[in-house]
């Protein structure tokens, strides 16, 4: 019998459902935390950004500071997309995704344990911002790896459906964050919620993150590509594609340049990014600070918007596999462009009934879902496998840094400076109008072509 050290058996290739679960679980955990931060932005502003002598005096300054900390984390997402994207493109999707979920879980848990300004003074907001920076790096790496993993493992004709799970778990994470916040607001007194209750949702990220970590460590480095459908050209394995701009076997010339593709991706994503954060993250604080809504009313509106968003994502992804990415995403961009201003006028109208306002908020979330459902697959189809994690992750991260991370800061500051309560509507509608122009250039048959 040989005394040589036996080799470890290779991991069996997981099925598409296992890949979806592993990719989705980490994504859910990371976006759950972002939903919690948005829901508790007013509390965090008071606990970390308000000097002790000014506590309880209100004003937009601390809230603007809290959103500035929120925005800073987004500006580190492109760096995370490049850092973890290169790991994903060179070492495999699994190592990158395992690393990002471990670091994100650590940062989120530490936020739940972080002493506030009353305890450690001016160090508190700086430490909070540092943890937000780490979260931004991790989230920048999460999108590229998760979308690459999901779309590359998708059976033929189902990339839109599989990619939509990335957006769907974003919605579930945001919805879970809002739901936990609403539950705590119902169970605790305002004083208890303000003193310690806000920490509970951040600490809940620890068991969620550990479960996602375990799922991801069970994946192989890269899932094998699915077999081609009948009449479909064979797919190359990850890492064996031709350089961008060369002629493919089917005789078509691919778009030249990853940089150009990243820029085009930003244009196609900007409406989704800005409208999504306007309706799904910024809305609770806007309703409280601008329209005088109670904390519970604001959280209920936020939950309804996220519910509509979640309900539309998977159907939109499935539909895009049948009719193409372009018509579905254009419908979402044009819908926000036309409906954003009437929506905010309805919310501001004291004579409007609660059912009408609830339906409007629900519909606003669903309209953004038309962009989010096909969006991940659309991005994956723009980049070859050798740069897919980095390329699509960077496009998404740059868009988030400019149009999502700044949404709360820009909207809160401009509303306070101008007194115009329609600022959020202008922001969402304007970006979606520009995004529609970029989406109009999508090819109608991209959903049928094999990934490069």
DSSP letter string over 328-388?
A: HHHHHHHHHHHHHHHHHHHHH-TTS-HHHHHHHHHHHHHHHHHHHTTHHHHHHTTS-GGGH
Whether 111 is in a domain gets the answer yes
pLDDT band, residue 259 (cuts 50/70/90):
confident
**Does a structural domain hold residue 233?**
no
User: Does the pLDDT of residue 36 top 90, yes or no?
Assistant: no
Instruction: Answer yes or no: is 26 within a domain.
Output: yes
Q: Given this model, what pLDDT does residue 250 score?
A: 34
At 373-414, the pLDDT tens digits run 999 999 999 998 888 989 999 999 899 888 887 777 777 788
CATH assignment of the domain containing 148: 1.20.1250.20
- Does the pLDDT of residue 224 top 60, yes or no? no
Decide if 434 is inside a domain: yes
The winner for highest mean pLDDT among 220-229, 335-344, 442-451 is 335-344
Among the ranges given (112-121, 155-164, 255-264), the one the predictor scored with the smallest mean pLDDT: 255-264
**SS3 of residue 303 by DSSP:** helix
As for how many domains the chain has, the answer is: 1
Structure-model confidence comparison of residues 235 and 342, the more confident one: 342
How far CA 450 is from CA of 29, 231, 323, 384, 426, in Å, comes to 31, 11, 16, 10, 38
Tokens read off for 393:
């992750």
CA-to-CA dists, residue 114 to 47, 130, 165, angstroms: 11, 11, 32
Q: Which is more confident, 451 or 126?
A: 126
Out of 166-175, 232-241, 418-427, pick the least confident. 232-241
Over range 178-201, report the average pLDDT. 87
E strand or H helix at 135:
helix 123-152
| Token digits of residue 422 | 């329609």
Local confidence band at 222 (pLDDT 50, 70, 90 cut-offs): low
Indicate the pLDDT class of residue 335, thresholds 50, 70 and 90. Answer: very high
The SS3 call for residue 445 is coil
Q: Report whether pLDDT(334) > 90.
A: yes
Does some domain include residue 304?
A: yes
**428, part of any domain:** yes
More confident residue, 371 or 36: 371
**Residue at 249 is within a domain:** no
Residue 243 has pLDDT above 80, yes or no: no
pTM: predicted TM-score of the whole model, two decimal places: 0.77
- Which helix or strand (DSSP H or E) is residue 389 part of? helix 388-399
pLDDT at 311 exceeding the cut of 70: yes
pLDDT value for 61: 59
Q: What is the DSSP letter of 76?
A: T
Q: What is the mean pLDDT of residues 327-343?
A: 94
Indicate if the pLDDT at residue 434 is higher than 90: yes
Domain residues for 300?
16-224+255-448
- pLDDT tens readout for residues 420-432: 888 889 999 999 9
Tell me, what's the pLDDT at 65?
66
State the Cα–Cα distance between residues 192 and 196, nearest whole angstrom: 6
- The secondary structure of 394-445 as a DSSP string is HHHHHHIIIIITTHHHHHHHHHHHH--TTHHHHHHHHHHHHHHHHHTTS-TT
Confidence label for 349 from pLDDT (cuts 50, 70 and 90): confident
Q: Can you tell me the mean pLDDT for 133-144? A: 86
Please give the Cα distance from 337 to 428 (Å, whole number).
Answer: 7
pLDDT digits (tens, 9 = 90+) for 260-305: 889 999 999 999 999 988 888 777 777 777 777 777 777 788 788 8
Q: Is the model's pLDDT at 69 over the cut of 80?
A: no
Q: What pLDDT does residue 16 have?
A: 66
Dihedral of CA 412/437/263/377: which sign?
positive
Q: Is the pLDDT of residue 327 over 60?
A: yes
Q: For residue 383, give the nearest of 219, 296, 262, 271 by alpha carbon.
A: 262
Distances (CA, A) of 346 to 114, 161, 187, 360: 39, 34, 30, 8
Phi and psi of 247, rounded to 5°?
-80, 130
List, as one string, the DSSP characters of 89-106. Answer: HHT-HHHHHHHHHHHHHH
Contact predicate 234/397, CB 8 Å? no
d(CA 122, CA 101): 29
**CA quadruple 146, 149, 151, 153: dihedral positive or negative?**
negative
Q: In the predicted model, what is the mean pLDDT of the chain?
A: 80
| 1 located within any domain | no
Query: With pLDDT > 90 as the criterion, what percentage of the chain qualifies?
Result: 24
More confident residue, 424 or 64: 424
Q: Higher confidence at residue 12 or residue 180?
A: 180
């Amino acid at each position: 019998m040989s005394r040589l050290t036996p080799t470890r058996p290779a991991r069996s290739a997981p099925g598409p459902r296992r890949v979806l679960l592993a990719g989705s679980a980490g994504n859910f955990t990371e976006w759950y935390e972002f939903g919690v931060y948005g829901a508790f932005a007013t509390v965090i502003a008071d606990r970390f950004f308000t000097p002790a002598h000014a506590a309880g005096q209100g004003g937009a300054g601390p809230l603007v500071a809290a959103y500035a900390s929120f925005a800073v984390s987004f500006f580190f997402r492109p760096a995370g997309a490049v850092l973890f994207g290169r790991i994903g493109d060179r070492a495999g999707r699994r190592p990158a995704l395992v690393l990002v979920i471990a670091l994100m879980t650590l940062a989120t848990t530490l936020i739940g344990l972080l002493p506030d300004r009353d305890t450690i003074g001016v160090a508190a907001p700086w430490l909070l911002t540092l943890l937000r920076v780490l979260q931004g790096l991790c989230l920048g790496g999460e999108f590229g790896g998760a979308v690459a993993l999901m779309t590359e493992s998708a059976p033929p004709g189902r990339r839109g459906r599989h990619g939509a799970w990335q957006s769907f778990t974003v919605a579930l994470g945001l919805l879970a964050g809002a739901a936990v916040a609403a539950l705590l607001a119902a169970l605790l007194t305002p004083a208890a919620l303000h003193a310690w209750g806000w920490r509970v949702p951040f600490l809940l990220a620890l068991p969620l993150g550990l479960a996602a970590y375990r799922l991801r460590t069970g994946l192989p480095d890269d899932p094998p590509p699915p077999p081609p459908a009948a009449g479909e050209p064979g797919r190359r394995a990850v890492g064996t594609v031709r350089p961008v701009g060369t002629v493919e076997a089917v005789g078509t010339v691919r778009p030249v340049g990853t940089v150009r593709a990243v820029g085009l991706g930003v244009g196609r994503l900007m409406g989704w990014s800005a409208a999504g954060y306007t309706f799904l993250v910024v809305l609770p604080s806007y309703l409280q600070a601008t329209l005088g809504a109670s904390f519970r009313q604001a959280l209920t509106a936020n939950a309804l918007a996220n519910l509509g968003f979640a309900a539309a994502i998977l159907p939109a992804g499935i539909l895009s596999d049948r009719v193409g990415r372009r018509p579905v995403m254009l419908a979402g961009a044009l819908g926000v462009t036309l409906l954003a201003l009437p929506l905010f006028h309805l919310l501001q109208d004291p004579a409007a009934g609660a059912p009408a306002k609830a339906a409007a908020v629900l519909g606003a979330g669903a309209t953004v879902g038309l962009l989010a459902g096909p969006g991940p697959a659309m991005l994956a189809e723009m980049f070859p496998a050798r740069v897919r994690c980095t390329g699509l992750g960077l496009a998404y991260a740059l868009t988030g840094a400019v149009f999502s991370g700044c949404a709360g800061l820009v909207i809160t500051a401009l509303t306070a400076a101008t007194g115009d309560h329609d600022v959020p509507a202008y922001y969402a509608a304007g970006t979606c109008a520009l995004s529609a122009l970029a989406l109009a250039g999508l090819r109608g048959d991209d959903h049928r072509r094999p990934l490069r």
